[in-house]
Amino acid sequence: MGTQPVGLRDVYEQGGGSPPRLRLLAPLRYLSIRHPEKRHYDLVIPLVVGVCAWGVYMAISPKPPLWGEGGLLRFSRDLLIMAVPFMIGALAAVAMGSPGEHLDRRPLGIELYLGDRALTLRQFLCYLLGYLSFLGMLTLIAVVGADLLHHTVRSWTECAPQARFITYAVGVLVLSTLLSFLSVTVLWALYFLTDVANQRMV
């Protein structure tokens, strides 16, 4: 007796939902989760920290180097190469862990909603770790890309110092913002995993 393979579309239809249009951007659904304080840690604080760090870097002289063995890009790349696989491994451990009363309940004292659906602790942690993994991979790609394109951009802007400065300033702003979003979200995750996730039901 033959069996028909079940695809993701079938799973979504059985659950009453519709299949996502951009499945590779699914980790960004974390930004749609509603919580009174979460918006500040998702957008406001990372943007403020990123812009302030960019302003300080552009204002100081001499500036810390970006390229080379002792450059900021090298340190960022080495850190991300270790951090991204760790975050993906943590996501797999949470997502595939055995069902339990602690993980598969709603967090105590707070309500987390995605659309009109209240999330369990496991669901929220999966979205959080997925978003962190996505941010880490995006930042790593940006860091490696900036390192690889450094000499090309310098060659293209050799006769246009103003264009070189603008490209440099915009690149530093993008890198500063990405690192700020990643760092603030990591700190938020540490707070959630240390405090909220360890609260036991009475």
pLDDT digits (tens, 9 = 90+) for 63-114: 888 888 888 888 999 999 999 999 999 889 888 877 766 667 776 667 788 8
Q: What pLDDT, on a 0 to 100 scale, did the predictor assign at position 172?
A: 92
Average pLDDT over residues 39-54: 92
Average pLDDT score over the chain: 82
Residue type, 90: A
Q: Structure pTM?
A: 0.81
Q: Is pLDDT larger for residue 30 or for residue 101?
A: 30
Short-list 64, 50, 70, CA closest to 170: 50
Asked if the model's pLDDT at residue 182 lies above 90, the reply is: yes
Between 83 and 8, name the one with better pLDDT: 83
The pLDDT of 37-59, averaged and rounded, is 91
> For residues 183 and 188, what is the distance between their CA atoms, to the nearest angstrom?
9
Produce one character per residue of 85-120: b if its CB has 16 or more CB atoms within 10 Å, e if not.
Answer: eebbebbeebeeeeeeeeeeeebeeeebeeeeeebe
Dist. CA 43–CA 170, nearest whole Å: 19
pLDDT of residue 49: 95
| CA quadruple 181, 137, 95, 6: dihedral sign | positive
Average pLDDT over residues 133-149: 92
